Every structure is written in C-alpha cells, then in structure tokens.
Chains A and B, each alone.
Chain A
C-alpha cells in the first residue's frame, strides 16, 4: 500500500476534484456539502498518511507527472518538509468538521456549498504547494490557495469582510506578481523551472545580478505572504473577520506557506552553494525579532479576541523567520517544527474563539468575562493554547522556543536568543488578560453563565487540538528527529 507510487498525485487530485464536485453533490440537499467535504478530506488524509510513512521509511522521493522526465515535465518531490501535508490535512479536516454548525449560522444559505468548495480548493493549493518540485508549479498552487483565501475572507458577505478581503487581495496579488517575475528571471538565467535543476545550474551562473534580484524579489514577496512586519498590514483584519474555521486555516496554515516558500528558496540557494546569503539571513533575523515584538505590542491593545489572536500570529511567524535566518542547525529545526506546532496551537485558539462566539454571540474580552464557568471545556482548551503559545513547558510551543534560542547561541547571536525569550513574555501579557477575563473576572453580561458548551462537532476539534498541544510538547522529539535529516541535508549542501 505504502509504496504505491501514485498516492502523491491522488493527494492533489482528490481534494481538487472534490472541490469542483461539491456544488453538484449538494444540488438537492445542502446538508450534503459538509459531509462530502469531510469524506474527501478523509480520503486525502489517508493518502497523506501513506506518503508520510513512506518518506519516514525511504527518505525523499520524486514523482514525474505523466511520466515526463525533468526538466521538461512537472516533478512532484516529497521530502521531510513536505510532511507538512499531515498538519494541513489534520487542521483542514477539523476545520471542516467545525464548520458544520458554525457556517450554517454565519453564512447565507445559498453560499454554503461554495464555502466548502473554496475550503477544499484552498487545501488543495497548500497540499500541492508543499509537494511540488517545480517552481512554476509552486506559483500555480500558490495562486490557487491565495485566490480561494481572498474569497473565504469575504464569504460572510459583510461590508467589513469585503474591505478586509480587498486589502488582502491587493497585497497578495502584488506579491504574487513579484514572485512570477522572479521565477521568470531565474528561468531566463538557468533555462529550467525544476527546483533541483535550478539549484545545480545556479552554481555555474556568472552574471549574479539577475539571480540576486530574483532572490530578493522572492524573499520580499514571500514575506508579504508570511505577514512579516512591516508587510503584515493585511493580516489582522482578514484573519479576524473571516469565519472562525477559516481563520484557523488562514492563521495556522496559509500564512505558513510564505515561510515554507522561503524554506524552498533557501533549499535552492543552499544547494547552489556559491551564493552569499548573509544579507538575507540578517534581514530575516531582524525582521523576525521586530515582528515578535511589534505583533505582541499591537496585540496588547486589542479588545476583540480574534484580532488579538491575529496579531499573535505575526509574532509567531516572527519566531519562525528568525529561526530560518539564524541558519544554524538548531534554529532551522526549531523554525520548521514551529510551522507545525504553531498551526496546532493557533487552530486551537481560533476554533475555541469560534465556539465562544457561536454560543455567546460576543467577541470582546470584556463581553466574554465569566465564560470559563459557562463553557469550561472550551475555556480550558483555550487556556492550554495560551500557555502553549507563550512557550511554557511542557507544551508544544516550548520546544520551538528552546530550539530557536539554542540556534541563536549556536549561530553566535546570543542577543536574539534574549529577544526571543523576552518577546515571549510580552506575548504572555495579553494571553493572561484572556485567561483573567474567562475565569477570574465577574461577568459583564450575567446571562453568559447560562450558555452551555458548543455542539460536539465544534467541541471535539477544539479539545483534540488542545490535547495535541500538550502531547506534541511531551513527545516533541518525534517531529524534531523526523525533520533533522532534512535540515542536515539542506545545510550540508
């Protein structure tokens, strides 16, 4: 089963076909759309599972679409980093389950099948993005996921949602354009679109200017996608206004594609060997540190719980980017694992916030006071998420902090180790406000004490994710040792 070579293409075709078919399947019965989407995602997850098992057993492997050899055909390449497909499927599946009740109330009924289409398309885009070995293909998948993300932000049809989506669209489209331009430059110089191929050919290129221009363009555009300060301005509104399951996907996964793209760019250029990357590294470390601090700073002033979570994403992407920029073994391991762990944590928090909003109808910290007594399980899950995101051991967030800090010392940049650890304290300030408001402050609206827990379809994802936040902290060595060979290979050239 595991060694069947075609799972990798199944993992892309399945959700894509499922997305297109959703409106047809739910033509007669609109309850069918979520069930169909969940079914499709289950099958995709199965394929993802086989792929991850295979990469763990055999190491990286390639798949030539249609049998066309590279560099002419499209190559799908599955390495340890591509195992992110696991978290994409997990969060995607849980968000779809969560949507079952949530979306029924917050989105106009005729649009519901299209909502599921868009979510599946978005997941398709990400799955393809992490598995492709072809630079142009990478761009195509990035556009699939970006376009569906713009639409998902606007899906509720409210005026503010449209504004947020428009802002997101403008920023996103410009950055996509820059990426396309950079890919064109690389193609012009190397004559190839295959990443591994480009990597080998780059070493022999004599005119460095267009290559460096392409590198700079890609880095900047991907930083927009990753919402690194000061290119983050599209993020808070978009993530806060989207429906909560979408927020979980956007904050947990979509933002990470920017970082993931940076990782791929690094792979190409480390592979080429002869390029001086110190400038880019320094930029990333500094912008990462500034993002940590500024994200936390803005979050402190937010009253709206989802707005707060959105700013916290900026801080956390700052961690990841800093880890990448440190360019030391520990730093990059920490960064890649944080891509995974932060997805878990932020999905817990956004889905939890969604459950609170669904039951109480409130979304500010003042209004939500006392909700810990009314919805104890959801509040507990969110508290675990909060502890985890601050990086208190033994939760998932701690390991990454530990590794990236170690990476800073390893790279001889202790100051950034300090910045990282103390930035985390800054983050704690606003999460403690959340916990205070849930548990320790008298309710602003006494009727809030009457509401019960959300339905199982919402409660289960939240609790499962919170449990994973703890489990991944305690069993952190599993992802860490899984990703280690890939990082060694990447740094070793």
Chain B
C-alpha cells in the first residue's frame, strides 16, 4: 500500500536546514551543538514515526518534482531503505555526541559540523531515493560533502588522502552515472519500486555490461577488492569522520547501492537466469579473506580497523549475491550489525588516542587497567565480529551460512569459518594485550575519557548485544530486514 507523505522528504531536509544553520550561527559553540543534536534527535523521531507503518508493509512516497521530463526527484520509504535510514540516524546521534567531545581542541569546527550534517542528510537521501537518478544524485553529493571532512587536518597527508578518496569515488560515480543512463536506455524507467525493472529487457551482453558497470560503480564505496584503495588512506581524517565513513555513511551507501542494483534494478529472478552473481560472490569471498590477512599485519589501530571494515563489508556483498532469502536477510541485517560494532571500535580507538596519544596496537599493553569501560566495549565489538552467539555478528554469520547452504554453495560456509578465525586472530590479541599483558605492578586506576566520548561507546556496545539477543523481537531492525526480503523474493 502506497501512501503519499511528506516525511520522506522531511528527514533529509531537516539535516540540510540544520547544516545551513550551523554554517550561519555555528561560530558560537552552543548553537553549533544545539543544531547538530537537535536535528539528529528530530530526524530520528521522523524516521522512527514511519517505522511501524513500514514494518506492516505501508510504503511512504513523495514525488518532489520533475528533475528532467519524466524522471522525478522522488522519495520512497520501503523496508530496505528504512533499515538503512534507521541505522544511520541512530548512529548519527551517537557520533554527534562523540564528535562534540572529540573535536573540542580542533580547528574549523563550523565547517566540520556543517559538512557532518550535510553528510547525514545525503545518506538519508540515498536510503529514501525513489529512483536510480535520485540515488545517484545523493550518492555523488555524498562524495562532495565528505571531502572537506577527509582533509580536515589540512596536512599534506590529509590532502593526499583526499585526492585518493576523490579519485576513487568519483570514478565510481562516473560508472554509476553510465549505468544509470544505460538502465534508462534499456528499461525506459529508473524506478526502484519494483523487484527488478530490467526483467523485460533482453540482450545478455548489454545486461552483463550494465551489471558490471553498476556494481563497479557502487563497489568503490563498498570497498570490494580491488576497488578498496581509498579506504585505508582515508584514515588520515579525524576519528569521528573515520567512524562515519567506515560504519555509517560512505561504505554503507556503496553496499546499499549494490543491494538496490541486485534486488531492485535487476531482480533476483533475472540474475538467477543470467548467472552473473557467482563471480561477485567469489570476489566478495576473496575480499573477506584477503583483507583479513592484511589486517593481521597492521600495527596502526585505525588501519587494522580499516582493513577489517573492507573484509566485513564484503559479507553484505556476498549475502546479496547468493540470491537466496536467508542470505539476503543476512546481507541486510549486517548493515546494522557491522555498523554498530565497527563504530564502537572506532570510538574506542579515538578515545584512546585522545586520552593517551597512543595510535599503535603494541602500545596498548595494560590499557584495560586504565580505561576498563572503553576496553570492555571493545571486547563486546570484537566478540561480535568473531561471531560469538548473543552478539550481533553471530546473527549475520548464522543466516549467511544458512543462505549459502540454501544456494547449495557449502564452500562459502568454510569462508565464514575461516573469516571468524581470522577476526579472532586480529581482534582478540588487542583484548589480550589490554588486560593480560600489563607491565608488572599495574594497578587498576580508572582514568577514562570524558563522558561525551565514553557514553556513545557504551551505548553502541550495548546496542551490539541488543541486536544479537533480540533479533526476533518485533520492531527491531531485523524485522525490517525480513520485510525487505519478503518484498524482494515476492513472498
């Protein structure tokens, strides 16, 4: 059932207006914080108010205007988009609180918080895009508005990272544009409201080119190997930005785009006929393992997290490309599961850096005695990635393995297991160092980071447990993932 409603537009607009207000009045710390937090809370309220309807199958639509004749700037809230929007708006609140604390001693704060708000505005725009052109519009805007955040430090290193980031993502954007044009030429429409708009098109060659173009385009932000090069370099950015880039906005925009291409542009049925997704699944499996291996050898805390992100993102791609309901559920749910766990880890890395100045893993010995709550949260996130039951990551692994079996590709279960071991191998040593390798005579001396940093960390860690234990409770994100899968597979 489709309902015309203003709220799909309201959600991105709120952050947009708030960004404008930050640029205008942000010189005063109070207003900067007021607008950032105010808009975050308001937007979450707007998004959440649509949640019950979405779970029950109501689709909220709003067509803003005709952008070109026939193709409108349209917004549409379905289950998949809602899932992404809920995750990003929830995390935005935490990240905003964290950023307010973290950025205290930094320069150009008006610019930072202004573009931060713009970034979230575009992310929700991506989530609620009604057609591929609207999606592209926000996808490209996201690249532009994150650039000032990536080069925030204004060091030569930051500029280098910024250049690399732009090069990768804009080339990706160009592929998406080409793909969009080609889709329009082939299907005559760009809407994302159907499970597969290309199903009537014929011409295997065109469809293959189209699939590769679109996946390559979105795959850059989703950091599928070998398109991942920008991500570790972009670590030069301040920690809240890394958290945002890696957990919420940018990489998930890429993964979300891949999901839209597979489920809404091509459709499961057509892809099964074309048999195109198998190589994508293998590429994802390759990325999962290779990135994990590279992560093993990183001593810089944030770099290790970055490679872990690359590995984790490919879970989503793998899940999507298996084309079975279980795997699809896992792919969608992992958007949230990875986001909360990874943002916890980045927050921890940032808090440690701010408190002690340490950025390398070998320096962390005994940190658990000084920052026990922080490291406790890290442990929760690490266990989630390893896939221990009761934590969010387990849900993904479980459904992904089931999905692989459903598709008859049992060897992906082996990939899952190998990946779990590798995750354990690069995350648990950090936990071990922090608690058990303390220099002799270390006493428990709690000296945590300031509350604005600590509270978001603990909240996110708790959410990881919540996601892992209450997946089946109605109203949790998982039910949205279920609803999205029902739509995609026509169940």
Q: Is the CB of A417 within 8 A of B181?
A: yes
Q: Give how many A residues have a beta carbon under 8 Å from the other chain's beta carbons.
A: 33
Q: Is the CB of A405 within 8 A of B69?
A: no
Q: Is the CB of A403 within 8 A of B68?
A: yes
Q: Would you give the 0/1 interface string for A378-396, flagging 1 where the beta carbon is closer than 8 Å to chain B?
A: 0000000001000011100
Contacts of A442 in B (CB 8 A): 154
Minimum distance in angstroms from A383 CB to a CB of chain B? 10
Q: Is the CB of A476 within 8 A of B67?
A: yes
Q: Is the CB of A394 within 8 A of B166?
A: no
Contacts of A422 in B (CB 8 A): 171, 174
Q: Would you give the 0/1 interface string for B122-145, flagging 1 where the beta carbon is closer than 8 Å to chain A?
A: 000000000001001100110010
Among A36-44, A154-162, A406-414, A446-454, the stretch in contact with B: A406-414
Is B14 located at the chain interface by the 8 A CB criterion? no
Q: Which of A402, A410, A424, A428 contacts B166 (CB 8 A)?
A: A428
Q: Give how many B residues have a beta carbon under 8 Å from the other chain's beta carbons.
A: 28
Minimum distance in angstroms from B182 CB to a CB of chain A? 6
Of residues 424 to 445 in B, which have CB atoms within 8 Å of A's CB atoms? none
Q: Evaluate whether A476 and B174 lie within 8 angstroms (CB atoms) in the complex, with A409-B185, A417-B181, A440-B154 already known.
A: no
Is A481 located at the chain interface by the 8 A CB criterion? yes
Name A390's closest neighbour in chain B (CB-CB).
Answer: B170
Contacts of A392 in B (CB 8 A): 140-141, 144
Query: A421 CA to B178 CA in the complex, in Å?
Result: 7
Q: Is the CB of A417 within 8 A of B178?
A: yes
Query: A477 CA to B140 CA in the complex, in Å?
Result: 20
Q: Evaluate whether A480 and B69 lie within 8 angstroms (CB atoms) in the complex, with A417-B178, A425-B171 already known.
A: yes
Is B418 located at the chain interface by the 8 A CB criterion? no
Minimum distance in angstroms from B338 CB to a CB of chain A? 29
Contacts of B178 in A (CB 8 A): 405, 417-418, 421
Query: A477 CA to B154 CA in the complex, in Å?
Result: 40
Is B151 located at the chain interface by the 8 A CB criterion? yes
Q: Is the CB of A393 within 8 A of B154?
A: no
Count: A-B pairs, CB below 8 Å: 71
Is B53 located at the chain interface by the 8 A CB criterion? no
Q: Is the CB of B170 within 8 A of A477?
A: no
Minimum distance in angstroms from A330 CB to a CB of chain B? 9
Is B289 located at the chain interface by the 8 A CB criterion? no
Minimum distance in angstroms from A72 CB to a CB of chain B? 41
Interface of chain A, helix or strand or loop or mixed? helix
Query: A421 CA to B170 CA in the complex, in Å?
Result: 10
Contacts of A418 in B (CB 8 A): 178
Is B159 located at the chain interface by the 8 A CB criterion? yes
Query: A179 CA to B163 CA in the complex, in Å?
Result: 46
Is B184 located at the chain interface by the 8 A CB criterion? yes
Interface of chain B, helix or strand or loop or mixed? helix
Query: A439 CA to B66 CA in the complex, in Å?
Result: 34
Q: Is the CB of A393 within 8 A of B136?
A: yes
Is A467 located at the chain interface by the 8 A CB criterion? no
Q: Which of A409, A475, A477 contacts B181 (CB 8 A)?
A: A409
Q: Evaluate whether A424 and B148 lie within 8 angstroms (CB atoms) in the complex, with A403-B68, A406-B181, A474-B67 already known.
A: no
Contacts of A421 in B (CB 8 A): 174, 177-178
Name A475's closest neighbour in chain B (CB-CB).
Answer: B65
Query: A481 CA to B66 CA in the complex, in Å?
Result: 11
Is B73 located at the chain interface by the 8 A CB criterion? yes
Of residues 446 to 479 in A, which have CB atoms within 8 Å of B's CB atoms? 474-477
Is A94 located at the chain interface by the 8 A CB criterion? no
Q: Is the CB of A436 within 8 A of B159?
A: yes
Contacts of A246 in B (CB 8 A): none
Is A195 located at the chain interface by the 8 A CB criterion? no
Is A33 located at the chain interface by the 8 A CB criterion? no
Q: Evaluate whether A474 and B65 lie within 8 angstroms (CB atoms) in the complex, with A425-B170, A425-B171 already known.
A: yes
Is A399 located at the chain interface by the 8 A CB criterion? yes
Contacts of A481 in B (CB 8 A): 69
Of residues 141 to 199 in B, which have CB atoms within 8 Å of A's CB atoms? 141, 144, 147-148, 151, 154, 159, 163, 166, 170-171, 174, 177-178, 181-182, 184-185
Name A423's closest neighbour in chain B (CB-CB).
Answer: B174
Minimum distance in angstroms from B46 CB to a CB of chain A? 22
Is A274 located at the chain interface by the 8 A CB criterion? no
Is A203 located at the chain interface by the 8 A CB criterion? no
Question: Which A residues are within 8 Å of any B CB, using their own CB?
Answer: 387, 392-394, 399, 401-403, 405-406, 409-410, 414, 417-418, 421-422, 424-425, 428, 432, 436, 439-442, 474-477, 480-481, 484
Identify 12 residue pairs between A and B in the complex whose beta-carbon atoms are under 8 Å apart, listed by A's number. A387-B144, A393-B133, A394-B137, A406-B181, A406-B185, A421-B177, A425-B170, A436-B151, A440-B159, A476-B67, A480-B69, A484-B69
Question: Which B residues are within 8 Å of any A CB, using their own CB?
Answer: 65-69, 73, 133, 136-137, 140-141, 144, 147-148, 151, 154, 159, 163, 166, 170-171, 174, 177-178, 181-182, 184-185
Extra 12 A-B pairs, beta carbons < 8 Å, given A428-B170, A436-B159:
A392-B140, A393-B141, A394-B67, A394-B141, A405-B177, A421-B174, A432-B147, A440-B154, A440-B159, A441-B154, A475-B65, A477-B67
